[in-house]
Chains A and B, each alone.
Chain A
Amino acid sequence: MAKILIPTPLRKFTGNAATFEVKGATVAEALRALAEAHPQLKPHLFDNAGRLRSFIRVYVGEDDIATLQREDTPLTDEAVVSIVPAIAGGS
């Protein structure tokens, strides 16, 4: 089972869960499974055309999927998928 790490700003849509274990052959399948399990999260991950939103990055391990095979990036059972959102706090 691959593991998806949910960042703090999105945890309000996952019932505060910080991780999500998922069976999925690709990043797209894993994220779709996550969005199905937590439907409120879906509009924050994907736009109306089903593309990943531009204010979040998705990583497999330490690599941005933009430098791999994007949503088609394959996942192993040990893969750690990170969703990295923009945060702006500083004061």
Chain B
Amino acid sequence: MSQPTILSPAELARYARHIAIPEFGVEGQEKLKRGSVLVIGSGGLGSPLLLYLAAAGVGRIGIVDFDLVDESNLQRQVLFSVDDVGRPKALVAKERLQKLNPHIEIEVYLERFSTENARALVRRYDVVADGTDNFPTRYLVNDACVLEDRVNVYASIFRFEGQVSVFNYRYADGTRGPNYRDMFPEPPPPGLVPNCAEGGVLGVLPGIIGSMQASEVIKVLTGVGEPLAGRLFLFDAATFSTRILKVPKNPDTRITGLINYDQFCGLSPKEETPVRSITVQELARLRESGADFQLIDVREPYEYGIANLGGELIPLGSIEEAADRIARDRMVVLYCRSGQRSADAIRRLQQRFGFDNLYNLEGGILAWAREIDASVPTY
């Protein structure tokens, strides 16, 4: 070595297996140490991503997550243990990662990634790794990266399938590779593609896909290898089939500023028929008062087995066929896990059958468990 290295003897020992790779060497390790990455979401994809990026020695890692560890996360979110249930994910992640590698800095943002903070957060890091779980945030991450000129290492998962790509990559000539909007100018209508909570996901899948995402982050930071820019990797664990497809740039893509992403993805409450609702406190008072009302649970039978508030079970998918079981002469309260599916059920019933006595339980079972009865399991 002609130049003194920024790596300490302890770090040189720690990263010996990286340094032994001819293309990587001390130089690659130094680039990792000087590099920074913002990991948005510390759940399924975020867990392997963070573990490998920390272990590999990325110098500064930001974690954005406002969520708390839940029992149902442990099937795949390998950062967390039983003892962590109920604690903020990003904080637990920081503790774990700092033990794994004391040579790196971990910065934690216990907040929702939103139009208010997106650009400022993205600007602080070299690379962004998107491990979020919904379309509005996917588009927000993409647009913030394009506007702030950052690489977006993207991955997403659904049941047995995963996708990986490197968006907005900066080529040697200074041009940028395609971004998410070049692939998908618009999101699918709400409800067509369920999220992991509704649609399910094989626990090991985020482990596979998130590790690939980590590998791409490391390649982008070090310049080693050929990043998956302009290409989309597809994996189907069910058949063990893999494909790499080309992602062309779309000349019609224009990103000039951040927008209202809920509205863009068809989730804006303004766009939807309003639904009357009651709070969990109001429901608790109704029950105590002995009032005559019907309580309906629109979740799936397996969810009912995990936790229920004693409502009559009519899953969302069969709510319209079961309309004659729903009272018209008294108040009816519908609930689900978080209040989204029950609001959807009410809209369908109001539109198709003209019900005017339906109320949505705000925040669903999760709110009930949080604010009324902590003995109700959450998932």
Contact B158 A8 (CB under 8 A): yes
Is A78 positioned at the interface, with any CB of B under 8 Å from its CB?
Answer: no
Contact A91 B43 (CB under 8 A): yes
Question: Which residues of chain A (3-55) have a CB below 8 Å from chain B?
Answer: 7-9, 18, 44, 53-55
Which of chain A's residues have a CB closer than 8 A to the CB of B44? 89-91
Q: Closest approach, in angstroms, between the C-beta of A75 and any C-beta of chain B? A: 17
Alpha-carbon gap, A62 to B232, bound state (A): 10
Please give me the residue from chain B that is nearest to A63 by CB atom: B246
Is A71 positioned at the interface, with any CB of B under 8 Å from its CB?
Answer: no
Which of chain B's residues have a CB closer than 8 A to the CB of A67? 246, 248
Alpha-carbon gap, A85 to B236, bound state (A): 13
Q: Closest approach, in angstroms, between the C-beta of A59 and any C-beta of chain B? A: 5
Q: Closest approach, in angstroms, between the C-beta of A62 and any C-beta of chain B? A: 5
- Our pick among A18, A82, A88 for the contact of B138 (Cβ within 8 Å) is A88
Instruction: Please count how many residues in chain A sit with their CB below 8 Å of the partner chain's CB atoms.
Output: 25
Contact A88 B248 (CB under 8 A): no
Is A57 positioned at the interface, with any CB of B under 8 Å from its CB?
Answer: yes
Q: Closest approach, in angstroms, between the C-beta of A47 and any C-beta of chain B? A: 11
Q: Closest approach, in angstroms, between the C-beta of A86 and any C-beta of chain B? A: 4
Please give me the residue from chain B that is nearest to A80 by CB atom: B243
Please give me the residue from chain B that is nearest to A57 by CB atom: B183
Alpha-carbon gap, A8 to B156, bound state (A): 13
Closest 10 CB pairs of A and B: A91-B43, A91-B133, A55-B188, A87-B158, A89-B196, A86-B184, A54-B186, A90-B45, A90-B131, A89-B157
9 A-B residue pairings within 8 Å (CB atoms): A9-B193, A54-B186, A56-B188, A62-B245, A88-B135, A88-B137, A88-B193, A89-B157, A91-B67
